[in-house]
Structure formats: C-alpha cells, structure tokens
Chains A and B, each alone.
Chain A
Amino acid sequence: ILNVEQSPQSLHVQEGDSTNFTCSFPSSNFYALHWYRWETAKSPEALFVMTLNGDEKKKGRISATLNTKEGYSYLYIKGSQPEDSATYLCAFLRTGGFKTIFGAGTRLFVKA
C-alpha cells in the first residue's frame, strides 16, 4: 500500500505569517512529486513539478524542497495573504507506470 501523508490537515494563520506544510511519500520507486493548489469550487492547479533529490523550486512567495532519499517535501509560503487560502495537495508519481497518488491535502485559512 502506497501512502502519501500530508501534515498538518488544516492550518489557520494570520495575514503576513509564514507557514510550511509537509508531504511524506515512499522513498522507493520515486519518479516525481507534484504540488497543487486547490481553491474551493475550482480544479487543482499545479504549483511545482519536482523530480530530483535536493530540488528547490520557487514561484513568488511560495517555494518547495524535495528529499527523495528520506521521502519528504516541504511547501513554504512566505507572508501569507488571504488569497492563499486553499487546499494544498501533493501527488507522488512512481516509476514503472506513473501511477499518481494524492495526499489528503493541507487546508490553509489565512485571516486578514
């Protein structure tokens, strides 16, 4: 059974706070790790595609790191804004077929 775990399940922060979430995944048969942002009543949209151990990606105030050997990825948001409120999903893709397994997500609430 392949488990992709995300923590915390939900997070309430104030505008301006910096925050981070964790995605844990199997360290074997790694192919790629994706991060998605999912706003209520919309579809998930990709933030990052990460494939190499040690990868660090950044898009504006959001960044992510990847450790494939120990099986985790961190997503950081610097200076959270109310519009950052969404569910952040990570997805693990494994070799040999590219089966995609999503975590349950971290629900972020940013209060103005």
Chain B
Amino acid sequence: EVQLVESGGGLVQPGGSLRLSCAASGFPFNNHEMNWVRQAPGKGLEWVSYISKSDSARHYADSVKGRFTISRDNAKNSLFLQMNYLRAEDTAVYYCARGSFFGPTKYFDYWGQGTLVAVSS
C-alpha cells in the first residue's frame, strides 16, 4: 500500500525556518517524481515545488523561490522541504504528492495527509 506521511510542521515566528519531511513507503520511491502542494486555511490548493526522480531537476512556485528548497534521500525513501524566511502567508497545510505519468501526461496520484505550518508571532 502506498503511504506518504508528512511531519515537521508547527508554529514558527516570521523570519524563522522549518524543515518538512515526507516518509514514503509501499512503492519504489526512486522511480517517482515528488511534489509539495500547500493549502492556506479556507483557501485553494497551491503547487509549491517539484523534484525529479534522481534530483536532476527542481522547480518552485514564484512565491517560495529563493526561500524554500526541496530535496530527497532515495536511500531513505524521504522527501524534504526546507523553508527559510517564513512569512505569515506561508501558513498552510503542506502536502507531499507522488508524481506519476502516462506517456507525456503527469499527475499526482497519491497524497499524504498533510502537515500544518503556522507562521505567527
């Protein structure tokens, strides 16, 4: 069974840092691209970041570029999001999502349950 379990969320002051983790199981982690998606309270979904299978490519939303860093450890089946210079508008539930593809078409076929990040003084 595919499982994605996020951790590392919590309350942090503006300007602070936090590192999120996503533990993957039930599938060959190094065969899948991975993503982070967030959802502010009462708001819609926002794609945050992407990392390729071998970490040869990373992409970020403009809203987090230069502040957030995605990474992965294929040996430990883990995905990470290092978040620096946090702002109030980064307050959200953060989901990790597995990327899959059929031909050229990509999609997020499995999601974790999310971890809440609250940025407030």
Q: Real complex partners, A and B?
A: no
What residues make up the interface of B, taking CB atoms closer than 8 Å to A?
A: none
Listed in ascending order, the chain A residues whose CB lies under 8 Å from chain B are: none
